[in-house]
Each structure stands twice: as structure tokens, then as C-alpha cells.
Amino acid sequence: MKERAPKPTEEKLKPKLLSVMKGYTKAQFVKDVVAGVIVAIIALPLSIALALASGVNPEQGLYTAIVAGFIVSLLGGSRVQIAGPTAAFATIVAGIVASEGMDGLMISTIMAGLLLMLMGLCRFGVLIKYIPNTITAGFTFGIAVTIVIGQIKDFLGLTFEHAPIETMEKVTEVVRCMGTLNWQALLIGVISLAILILWPRRLEKIPASLIAVIVCSALVKLADMDVNTIGTLYKISSAPPHLTVPEVTFDRVRSLVPNAFTIAVLAAVESLLSCVVADGMVGSKHRSNMELIAQGAANVGSAFFGGIPATGAIARTAANVKNGGRTPIAGMVHSIVVLIILVVMMKYAALIPMPTIAAILFIVAYNMCGWRNIANTVKTAPKSDILVLFVTLILTVVFDLVVAIGAGLVLAALLFMKRMADVTEAHAWVDIDDEDTDPDNILLKKIPKNTRVFEINGPMFFAASNKYRYVLDDKNIDVLCIRMRNVPAIDAAGVEGLMNIVKRCERHNVKVVFSHVNEQPMRAMEKAGFVEHVGRENFCDHIDTALIRAAELENEISAKRA
């Protein structure tokens, strides 16, 4: 018997914080504190901007960075992950808030958190990799497009006649209201963009978004410009996060399940992608299942304390690593510093111009869109992958992420099944003594006179069932030998297809012998009672023994005829 390969060591459900603290030093603590402070300064304008893009008050973005950021660092499976509000959730959250209100968002986020925790406990972390990159790239680019469209109003200082919710409605409203363009707002937006683009080329250590906020806030205030600021549109609160409990009913929960599922899947994909990027930067290996549990707990905590959905933030995580952060302590420091800024300096956030917020989100959208990856996919990928990418992208923009991910997964699955069906085949062996056979082909064996051998290659599943339907075209034989060494997997339709072949053989008094059935197909056949029907003695571990068995059956049949 063949020896089975040892199973890989099961991933521990243990927070990374407990592992890295064993050899923790004072020098690393200093580095973590510095990194945490810098990341907090980066997170401040981003969290406010993302909260506004999500249709909630500015402080709720900071609540998310504080609560979710601390919990992920405390319980997470990565050494350097920084969590908080991200652009990926902006359009989803805005849609939920507009249609379901803040209570609906809280319930959806709590359910999503519970789903994430369940995914981690069930060790589903490894399954995230089965979501095709084309779907991830498609909805990420689609989200970037919706963010840009959603910020055109503030960047241009437009006055809308209506309050559109859907992305395409916003496009229509922008065109309709273009006559209300505010040139002062556009000037502040252009100055903000210039700072955001040019500043990192000179002084990368100081966040460009912070400089843009300070400079443009001062310009609007000192020049008394007619430009909307956060303070003119929103009520600013410097109160720390406080516990809030939504009103929950069964009907409300049931109606919000699709939203919760979308948040959970997106949070899982985004956070684990961020972990993989971070692993490459610090030479570590994250614990995906523990990270999912931490992300789930973080989303539950964020919802109860007034925040919005959170996940791992790739840009902030990268900034953490670049500035010396190597343990979860940096992420915890980041959350504490954001809390201090919220309590002490939040009143100054009222001065931030809305065009500056729009410019920050334009840069966020550009950084997340991955246009180079999409351009490379269009150049090199098969047409089916390109189709999945653009279907997901377009549906994300025109409809929403739920429709886009659902349609993308269904389309990707159908195309994958088609590819698998295309590579599945069944072909006949011929006797080495036949005239048309190349005698130098060492793969050919000496086949008993009244035996036919068919070899099936590829997975046997419902989409490929027509590929091996013709196996018994020749009925003037005594034994049919089916070789299955290249069949890695089989489903119920595949077993049923083989059963139909066996029953057809029985009607024509033809015996069936199987060669080299792999582990998964064998288990499926045993479970279906197929092995007992055919006879366990007719399942051979090698083609040579299968041909010997075929010869024995031929002799038995000949003896009966005599």
C-alpha cells in the first residue's frame, strides 16, 4: 500500500500578540510607538473622509479606527495588521444607511462580525483563496469608480436638486447640476490634489493628506472662501466611543442577511489580502483563521460603539511596517493616539473643506483601483477571465456589490466547469498487435483478445458526463476495463454515469473491471454502493493486475460457453 503524505500542521487559533511578546524588547517598543503615532496621523484624515463617503458622521470613522483597530491588534493573526474603515466599504455602507438607517447598519455589521468569527472557528480562512482574482480586481476597481463618482459633487462644489443614492443616479445629477459649479471649491480641490500628488515626492515621512487638510483649511478660513466645510454640513462631536444597542427584530435580521454576508465576505477578502502583503514585507506568516475571528470581534465591537464596518487597511499596514512597527503593539498605540486626537482636537475637524475630503478620496480610489493589474489581465488572461472581470466591475458600478459578487462567482464557476469539462476525455486503448499501432509506444500493453480498455482523464462531474457516454460503443466484447488513474475527483453525476455504463454492460453480458481508482472517487463509489454492485474483486490497483483480472474473466466466460 502507498504511504499517505502527512497532513500539514493545523493552524493555531492563537493571537499573534501572545507569540511575539516572548522576546519583546524596549528598543522594539520605541519603534512600535513611533510607528503607531505616524499611522494614527495618517488614519485621522482618512477615517474622517471614509466616514463621510459612507454617509455617516465624521467621528464614526474615528470610532471605527479606535475600537476595531485595537481589537484586531489585540486578537489578530498578523504581527503588523492595521484595521479601520476602508474605501472598500464606503459605497456599501452608504447604501445601507440610506435604505435601512443607522440601526440597519449596526445590525448588518454585528451579523457580519458573527459570520466572520464563525468562519474563523470553522477554519474557513484557507477557502478565501478560492475567490478568483478577477472577481476581486473587478469589484475593487468598481468600488474605486463609485467613490470617484460620489465625490464629484463636493470636489466641484455642486448644489444637487435631489439626493441620489445609486451611482448612476449620481452621474445623472452631476450632469444636470453642472451649472451650479463653485469655482472656489474647485480651486481648493485642485490645490488639495496637487499637495497629495507632489508632497510625497519631497517629504514622505509627513502624510500628504495631513498637509492638504491643514493648508486648505487655513486658506478657506483666512480668505473667507465660499466653500463647504465639514462643520457646515455635519455636527462634530468629540465624545469618545460609547455603547449603543440597536433595536433588533427577527424580520429586520432576516432582511439584512444579504448585507451582512456582503460585509463579511468583503472584510475577509480585504483583511487576508492585507495580511499576505504584510507577510511579504516583514517575512512573517499570518494565522488566517485567527485573523478572521479578530476581524469578526472588531466589527461587532465597532458596531456597538458607533463605528462602521472595518477590515485590514493595506496602505496603513504598509505605513506601519515602513516606520518600524513589527508587533501588534503598534496597532494598539495607533488606536490610543486616534482616541486622544478625537477628544482633544476633533473640534478643528469642522474647518476641513469638503473639496479636500473629495481629493483625499480621489487618491484613495486611485491607489485601490489596481488599473495596472487590470491592464495586465486584459493583455494576458483568457477571454473567460476578462469576461468575469468586466461583468463584476460593471455590475458593481451599475447595481451593487451583492449583485456583482454573486454574478461574478456564478459566471466564474460556470466557466471553470466548462474548462474542466473540456479537458475531461475518455479514449480507447488498442492491442499492440493491431496494424495501426506504433509498436514503440511503451504505454501500450498486451490486451486480452475479447477485452477493451478505456482510459478516462480529468474530473468526472455533471458538466463532463457526455464525454464518457460512448464508452461501450463496441458490444462484441467480453470485458470492459476502465482505467481511472487520471481521474482526481468524481461527483454524484459521475458515479451515475459509470453506473449507467455498468448496467449497459450487464445487458450485453459484458464484465467491467476498474483500474487505479483514486482515493476520492473510490470513497464516492463506496458510499453510492457502486463498488458492491460491480464487485470489489473487480477493482484493481494497477493496469497490469486489471488486465490479468480481465483475462481470468474471459476464461470463465469461455468455459461457460463451452
Q: What is the pLDDT of residues 369-416, one digit of tens each?
A: 888 888 888 887 778 888 988 998 998 888 877 788 788 888 887 877
Mean pLDDT of 293-313: 96
Rounded to 10 degrees, the C-alpha dihedral 48/53/54/59 comes to 20
Instruction: Decide which of 71 and 384 is more confident.
Output: 71
pLDDT for 47 equals 93
Task: Work out whether the CA dihedral 531, 537, 541, 544 comes out positive or negative.
Answer: negative
State which of 16-20, 61-65, 396-400, 521-525 shows the largest mean pLDDT.
Answer: 61-65
Q: Retrieve residue 325's grid coordinates.
A: 512597527
The CATH classification number of 425-561 equals 3.30.750.24
pLDDT for 497 equals 84
Concatenate the DSSP letters of all residues of 339-374 into one string: HHHHHHHGGGGGG-BHHHHHHHHHHHHHHHH-HHHH
**8: CB partners within 8 A, 6+ apart:** none
> What is the rounded distance in angstroms from the CA atom of residue 447 to the CA atom of residue 455?
13
Helix (H, G, I), strand (E, B) or coil at 484: strand
State the chain's mean pLDDT as an integer: 86
Confidence of residue 2 (pLDDT cuts 50, 70, 90): very low
Q: Are 267 and 332 in contact (CB under 8 A)?
A: no
The domain limits of the chain are 25-378, 425-561
Give which of 487, 214, 195 is closest to 345, Cα–Cα.
214
Q: Retrieve residue 108's grid coordinates.
A: 448588518
pLDDT for 235 equals 85
Confidence of residue 441 (pLDDT cuts 50, 70, 90): very low
pLDDT of 40 strictly over 90: yes
Instruction: Decide which of 332 and 471 is more confident.
Output: 332
For residue range 86-125, what is the model confidence (pLDDT) as tens digits? 988 888 899 899 999 999 999 999 999 999 999 999 988 8
Phi, psi at 353, each rounded to 5°: -70, 145
pLDDT for 463 equals 64
pLDDT for 467 equals 60
pLDDT for 51 equals 93
Mean pLDDT lowest for which of 180-184, 193-197, 481-485?
481-485
pLDDT for 240 equals 93
pLDDT of 437 strictly over 50: no
pLDDT for 312 equals 92
Q: Which stretches within 424-542 are classed as H helix?
A: 492-507, 519-527, 530-534
pLDDT of 138 strictly over 60: yes
Cα of 529 vs its chain's centroid, Å: 38
Mean pLDDT of 507-521: 90
Q: Are 191 and 211 in contact (CB under 8 A)?
A: no
Which of 235-257 are b and which e, b meaning 16 or more Cβ less than 10 Å from the residue's Cβ? ebbeeebeeeebeeeeeeeeebe
Q: Are 440 and 432 in contact (CB under 8 A)?
A: no
pLDDT for 428 equals 60
Mean pLDDT lowest for which of 128-142, 154-168, 194-208, 273-287?
128-142
pLDDT of 8 strictly over 80: no
pLDDT of 56 strictly over 70: yes
Total number of residues shown for the chain = 562
pLDDT for 440 equals 35
pTM for this model (two decimals): 0.74
Mean pLDDT lowest for which of 458-467, 493-502, 547-556?
458-467
Task: Work out whether the CA dihedral 124, 125, 130, 132 comes out positive or negative.
Answer: positive
Mean pLDDT of 81-89: 92
pLDDT for 471 equals 61
pLDDT for 295 equals 97
Cα of 220 vs its chain's centroid, Å: 41
Q: Determine what percent of the chain is predicted with pLDDT higher than 70.
A: 91
Mean pLDDT of 243-256: 92
pLDDT for 144 equals 87
pLDDT of 4 strictly over 50: no
